[in-house]
């Protein structure tokens, strides 16, 4: 189908984008890679009056280092993330999850900022940003502000960004020496995750020193599996310890029941997949 008519702006700076969005009000939408937005427009589930295309803003693309952080421009494409040496070194979890996003065509256009701003709880990158303790840099009429991932995802398809604001960059603390894994479970390869688990594990000697675990599609926002993380901290790096920690993966979650899966099954999957993800991240055979 054909989207409803809209006006189109293609600013070349963030300031210009913010200005246009502020003037347009709530009826404007930001166009990043378009891979989520354009299907929504085609099905006429949304009919914005103005699309502000960030594709012309060069400064939003690319990955760089800044002290102990990686700074990933919001318009950095999934395909770029997959090839980026800094991501591979300091945030391999992001690359692992990005490799599972949709398909190669979509990854050629879709962007990290678009995925996070869309805030679909079934999306793979929101939970990863949680697990990595990412911080969002947001530009708005009053300048830039930082919002941690834990406060960025507010509700279903809703972020802490206000109208007129634009996601500029995702800042990810550099981590080396962590094992990471993204475990995704879907009905068919190109489907959204029924449940996904992002895990990062730092081992010390025979123990798990720290773990970060976040869940995809277990509520209206991505969720940290705090109980699992706590149980893993200092635990023996063993299959039993991981299994026991993973048993609390669904604590505090509120998964939906829909045509793809029931809440009960999602709850079950969260536990199984958490065990598998943590074990894989920690390099532990969890058979």
Q: What is d(CA 60, CA 281) in angstroms, rounded to the nearest whole number?
A: 31
169 vs 273 by CB, closer to other proteins? 273
In the complex, the smallest distance separating the C-beta of residue 42 from other proteins, rounded to whole angstroms, is: 5
In the complex, the smallest distance separating the C-beta of residue 249 from other proteins, rounded to whole angstroms, is: 13
98 vs 137 by CB, closer to other proteins? 98
Q: What is d(CA 14, CA 166) in angstroms, rounded to the nearest whole number?
A: 8
CA atoms within 13 A on the CB side of 141: 10
Local structure of 125: helix, strand or coil: helix
In the complex, the smallest distance separating the C-beta of residue 259 from other proteins, rounded to whole angstroms, is: 4
140 vs 255 by CB, closer to other proteins? 255
Q: What is the end-to-end Cα distance of the chain in Å, rounded?
A: 47
In the complex, the smallest distance separating the C-beta of residue 69 from other proteins, rounded to whole angstroms, is: 29
Q: Which residue has the tokens 């303790």?
A: 133
Q: β-pairing, 178-185 with 195-204?
A: antiparallel
How many beta carbons lie within 10 A of that of residue 85, not counting itself?
Answer: 8
41 vs 169 by CB, closer to other proteins? 41
8 vs 68 by CB, closer to other proteins? 8
Q: What is d(CA 109, CA 77) in angstroms, rounded to the nearest whole number?
A: 6
> Which helix or strand (DSSP H or E) is residue 51 part of?
strand 50-53
In the complex, the smallest distance separating the C-beta of residue 109 from other proteins, rounded to whole angstroms, is: 5
10 vs 19 by CB, closer to other proteins? 10
Q: What is the largest CA-CA distance in the chain?
A: 60
In the complex, the smallest distance separating the C-beta of residue 253 from other proteins, rounded to whole angstroms, is: 17
The torsion defined by the Cα of 116, 122, 123 and 126, in degrees rounded to 10, comes to 50
The count of residues in the chain is 287
70 vs 270 by CB, closer to other proteins? 270
Q: Rounded to the nearest 5 degrees, what angle is found at the Cα of 213, between the Cα atoms of 268 and 206?
A: 105
In the complex, the smallest distance separating the C-beta of residue 20 from other proteins, rounded to whole angstroms, is: 14
Using CB under 8 A, list all residues that contact other proteins.
1-8, 10, 31, 34-35, 38-39, 41-43, 51, 53, 55, 79, 102-106, 108-109, 185, 187-192, 194, 259-262, 265, 268-269, 272-273, 287
């Amino acid at each position: 189908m054909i989207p409803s008519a809209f006006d189109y702006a293609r600013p070349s700076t963030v300031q210009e984008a913010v200005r246009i969005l502020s003037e347009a009000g709530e009826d404007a939408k930001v166009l990043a890679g378009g891979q989520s937005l354009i299907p929504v427009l085609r099905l006429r589930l949304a009919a914005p009056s103005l699309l502000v295309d960030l594709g012309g803003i060069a400064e939003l693309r690319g990955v760089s280092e800044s002290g102990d952080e990686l700074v990933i421009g919001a318009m950095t494409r999934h395909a770029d993330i997959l090839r980026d040496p800094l991501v591979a070194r300091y945030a391999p979890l992001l690359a692992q999850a990005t490799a599972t996003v949709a398909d190669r065509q979509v990854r050629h256009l879709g962007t990290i900022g678009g995925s996070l701003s869309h805030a679909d709880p079934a999306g793979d990158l929101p939970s990863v940003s949680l697990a990595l303790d990412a911080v969002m840099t947001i530009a708005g009429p009053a300048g830039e502000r930082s919002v941690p991932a834990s406060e960025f995802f507010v509700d279903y398809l809703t972020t802490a960004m206000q109208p007129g604001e634009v996601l500029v960059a995702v800042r990810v603390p550099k981590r080396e020496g962590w094992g990471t894994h993204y475990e995704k479970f879907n009905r068919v390869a190109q489907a959204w995750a029924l449940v996904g688990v992002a895990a990062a594990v730092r081992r010390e000697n025979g123990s798990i020193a720290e773990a970060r675990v976040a869940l995809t599609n277990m509520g209206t926002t991505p969720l940290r599996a705090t109980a699992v993380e706590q149980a893993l901290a200092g635990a023996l790096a063993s299959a039993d310890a991981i299994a026991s920690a993973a048993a609390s993966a669904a604590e505090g979650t509120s998964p939906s029941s829909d045509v793809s899966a029931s809440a009960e099954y999602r709850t079950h999957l969260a536990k199984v997949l958490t065990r598998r993800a943590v074990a894989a991240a920690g390099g532990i055979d969890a058979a």
